[in-house]
Amino acid sequence: MITSVLIAEDFESTTISVRKTLDDFRIEEVRFVYYCDDAVTQLKKSAYDLLITDLSFDEEADRPQQVKDGEALISAARALHPALKIIVFSGTAKPFEIVRLYEQLQIDAYVPKGRRDAQKLKEAIEAIQKGKRYYPPDVRQMMRQQTGHDFTVYDITILSQILKGKTQKQVADHLHQHQISPSSLRSIEQRLKEIRDSYGFLKNEQLIAYCKDQGII
Amino acid sequence: MLPLILLLACRHNKQNTPKKDWTLYRKAYAFLNHQNDSAFYYFNQLTVSTKDSAQIAMAFDIMAMIQSDAGDHYGAQESLTGALKYLDENRLADQPTLSNVYNELGMSSTDLKNYGQAIKYFDKAYKFSVDSNWTVTILNNKGLAYQNQGAYKVALDIYRQILPRAKGADRARIMTNKATAEWLKDTNYPAAAELRVALTLWQKENDKWGLNSIYLSLVAYYEKVKPDSALIFAKKRLTIASELHSPDDKLEALTALIKISPPYTAKSYFLSFQKLSDSVQLARNAAKNQFALIRYNVEKSQADNLRLQKDVAEKRYQLFLAVSLSVFVVSGLSFYFWWRRRKMRLQQELAIRDSEMQVAKKVHDGVANGIYQLMSEVEHGLLTDNEELADKLDLLYQRSRDISYEKAVVASSAFDRQLSVQLRAFGGQNCHISLTGNSPELWSGVPDVIRQNLNYILLELMVNMKKHSRAANVLIKFEVTDHLHINYSDDGVGLAPNVRFGNGLVGTENRIQAMGGVVTFDGGPGKGLKIAIIIPL
């Protein structure tokens, strides 16, 4: 259950949607802050269940902020409370940027400001309470389209080693020797599965053959 | 026979008033009479270093004196001929030097026993003489030339003519010569009285050269009539000749002594004579060689100098060529780079202005117009339903938000994620898009403008891929060296022959070229498409 919520929103763009929605959920502790630095101070003082934050904050000349925007605030918050749930409530992001927020910052929901955002916010909180993520419709579609893979140096190292005939155990040793992390057998298996899935392959052999064919490795 | 009496007049070393740079002349002159080889060296230097012809002529004149004193008469004549080249008979200022040079030529001709020529030179010297005392000297020399020729009468006429006008040393010299000539003409002539007067005069003048000559005459005169006196004067002459370091006179003195001394002493004189005679020959050759060597060295160094100057000039010319060529190349290159950068900047500025205008237009068309319409609908009571109003406002809100998205710059740290999501979003069930090399490290070295442009370019390529290629697999490789390399490949239908690029691809090409980059499209029908983009960083 969510009992405490911290809301970071620029004074200018404060909405009634958030307040109304939270009222419906009868949440005990709701705190509003207008600056990212204040949000960080609050998070340091006490643990919250949920952070709802905007992405862009007006730069105030008389109060220069150390934490300047929503992304920085999310990173700082995650560092303080790894289990904190985070909803981004903003009108400023493009769909691919939103995908990035899910991928990179591991946000739990993105709710775009706009018509009927109170309803969407409600759905998001409900999803989070069920231990799920919430995606806006266009983002969901975009993420569904994401096929193929963006190969990192790490991926290419693993695949090249397997192509040479090494077992996954030997690959793990190789990574360990070269101080490449994560080098555990489990993380290698997991990474290979991720890549296989994005191409719809069932076996590593298929993936290796594909990568060789395409000139990826 | 009596030795010839050589009583040539001393030189007329009258200085012209220094006008130009006389430093070297003075320096050379300072060595004269005590270090004649140094004097000769510096005078010779002067003849090649100065442009003042008067100085050159005077230098040659003095060099000739030094040479003839050392017995190098031919060398002296050569120098004098050199001097004549720098003198103009019609120039009044040159006339004293001309007179001097001709007198010197006459004297060296006398020394070389070329009396006819000597008389011609003395006539010329007389012609250019501007000083009556000097004229007396020249005439005395001329008389002596006649006397040596044996024309005693002509010589005596000259001596008699000039004797009343002569004073001091000149007078002594002329008296000596006259007495000698008289006596040579008529051996009974009582020359003793005149010679004694001349001797007193020379002694008064304390002129060693004069004494040397008067002793010679006295020895010759007394040899027959009073051998004792002759012996005394011969010994005196040897002393004075030694003091004068004149080997010729010393030899003459010794000859006389051998002749008139008693046999037991004559032998020692003879030995001295032989020894001296050899060394005189050596000294004379040495003198000739020395002066010739100095002149040769100077001429050679002058020639070397000219060659060196030519070499230096040539080298300078080559250097000049090289420098101007490199300046040309460097300025050409910098102009080219400046021009290219300017072109790029202008294009970027143009692109920015274009997009700013587009934004303004979009705000006007999409947002302002929409709000106006909505406003009039509310004003005229056409909108009664709040839901409808909210929906219409949401539409306008979305539109304005879309406009603000277009200009957003993505930070380099997030650019790889943006690209990854954006590019892979063009895939689907039947199209797999793979990327390699797309990392924050790679993009950290790429300027904002280039990233922004590449974003457009890559999206355009993906749009094109999605529309036309029917590709199942796409690979985009990113790599940075000193250039950014992007290699796109797909397994689609490839390029149709005579393919005409649409606006999108043409725009892509323009953008790449504006960044100074290169793009190549490759792949025939059915072979898939390969695109290589190279952008300088």
DSSP state string for A1-59: ---EEEEE--STT--HHHHHHHHHHT-SEEEEESSHHHHHHHHHHS--SEEEE-S--PP
Report the pLDDT value the prediction gives residue B268, as an integer from 0 to 100: 79
Structure tokens at B168: 């001091």
ipTM here: 0.76
Report the pLDDT value the prediction gives residue B349, as an integer from 0 to 100: 77
Contacts of B426 in chain A (CB under 8 A): 145
Q: How confident is the model at residue A127 (pLDDT cuts 50, 70, 90)?
A: very high
Report the pLDDT value the prediction gives residue B205, as an integer from 0 to 100: 82
- B224-238, B354-368, B401-415 — which is least confidently predicted? B401-415
Report the pLDDT value the prediction gives residue B411, as an integer from 0 to 100: 67
Could B473 and A214 be called an inter-chain contact, meaning their C-beta atoms sit closer than 8 Å? yes
Report the pLDDT value the prediction gives residue B287, as an integer from 0 to 100: 65
Query: Rounded CA gap, A149 and A144, in Å?
Result: 13
- B288-292, B348-352, B442-446 — which is least confidently predicted? B288-292
Using one digit for the tens of pLDDT, what is the confidence trace for A76-107? 999 999 999 999 999 877 777 888 889 888 99
Could B408 and A148 be called an inter-chain contact, meaning their C-beta atoms sit closer than 8 Å? no
Structure tokens at B218: 């006295």
A109, pLDDT greater than 60: yes
B194 compared with A175, residue with greater pLDDT? A175
Report the pLDDT value the prediction gives residue B132, as an integer from 0 to 100: 84
Q: What is this structure's pTM?
A: 0.47
Could B434 and A216 be called an inter-chain contact, meaning their C-beta atoms sit closer than 8 Å? yes
- A79-88, A109-118, B9-18, B207-216 — which is least confidently predicted? B9-18
B500, pLDDT greater than 70: no
Report the pLDDT value the prediction gives residue B498, as an integer from 0 to 100: 66
Could B425 and A145 be called an inter-chain contact, meaning their C-beta atoms sit closer than 8 Å? yes
Annotate A66-101 with b (16+ C-beta within 10 A) or e (fewer).
ebebbbebbebbbeebeebbbbbbbbbbbbbbbbbb
Report the pLDDT value the prediction gives residue B18, as an integer from 0 to 100: 45
**Strands across the sheet containing A109-112:** A29-33, A4-8, A50-53, A85-90, A109-112
- A67-71, A176-180, B346-350, B484-488 — which is least confidently predicted? B346-350
Q: How confident is the model at residue B513 (pLDDT cuts 50, 70, 90)?
A: confident
Contacts of A104 in chain B (CB under 8 A): 414, 417
A115 touches chain B (CB under 8 A): yes
Query: CB count, 10 Å around CB of B322?
Result: 10
- Distance between A97 CA and the closest CA of chain B, angstroms: 6
Cα separations in angstroms, B489 against A206, B354, B439, B502, B527: 20, 32, 19, 19, 10
SS3 B274: helix
Q: How confident is the model at residue B479 (pLDDT cuts 50, 70, 90)?
A: very high
- A33-47, A69-83, B19-33 — which is least confidently predicted? B19-33
- A9-13, B132-136, B253-257, B497-501 — which is least confidently predicted? B497-501
- B81-95, B304-318, B415-429, B433-447 — which is least confidently predicted? B304-318
Q: How confident is the model at residue A31 (pLDDT cuts 50, 70, 90)?
A: very high
Residues B184-199, mean pLDDT to the nearest whole number:
85
Residues B60-70, mean pLDDT to the nearest whole number:
85
Query: Using CB atoms, which residue from A94, A145, A148 is nearest to B434?
Result: A148
Phi and psi angles of residue B130, each rounded to the nearest 5 degrees, phi first: -120, 10
Do the beta carbons of residue B459 and residue B416 sit within 8 Å?
no
A62, pLDDT greater than 80: no
Residues B359-365, mean pLDDT to the nearest whole number:
76
Query: Rounded CA gap, A212 and B338, in Å?
Result: 45
Using one digit for the tens of pLDDT, what is the confidence trace for B262-277? 877 777 787 777 777 7
B322, pLDDT greater than 50: yes
**Strands across the sheet containing A150-151:** A150-151, B432-436, B473-480, B483-490, B529-536, B518-522
Chain B interface, best mutation among A56, A68, A96, by max B CB count within 10 A: A96
Do the beta carbons of residue B416 and residue B446 sit within 8 Å?
no
How much is the mean pLDDT over chain B? 82
Using one digit for the tens of pLDDT, what is the confidence trace for B10-24? 444 444 444 567 888
Query: Rounded CA gap, B311 and B83, in Å?
Result: 31
B55 compared with B8, residue with greater pLDDT? B55
- Distance between B474 CA and the closest CA of chain A, angstroms: 8
How much is the mean pLDDT over chain A? 90
Report the pLDDT value the prediction gives residue B10, as an integer from 0 to 100: 46
Annotate A118-152 with b (16+ C-beta within 10 A) or e (fewer).
bebbbebbebbeeeeebbbeebeebbebbbbbbbb
- Distance between A101 CA and the closest CA of chain B, angstroms: 9
Annotate B78-112 with b (16+ C-beta within 10 A) or e (fewer).
bbbebbbebbeeeeeebbbbbbbbbbbbbbbbbbe
Q: Is the dihedral of CA A51, A54, A56, A58 positive or negative?
A: negative
Query: Rounded CA gap, B436 and A5, in Å?
Result: 41
Amino acid of residue B221: Y
Report the pLDDT value the prediction gives residue B386, as an integer from 0 to 100: 86
Helix intervals (H) in A60-216: 70-80, 95-105, 117-129, 137-145, 153-163, 168-177, 185-199, 204-214
Residues B400-411, mean pLDDT to the nearest whole number:
67
Contacts of A153 in chain B (CB under 8 A): 439
- A49-58, A118-127, B358-367, B496-505 — which is least confidently predicted? B496-505
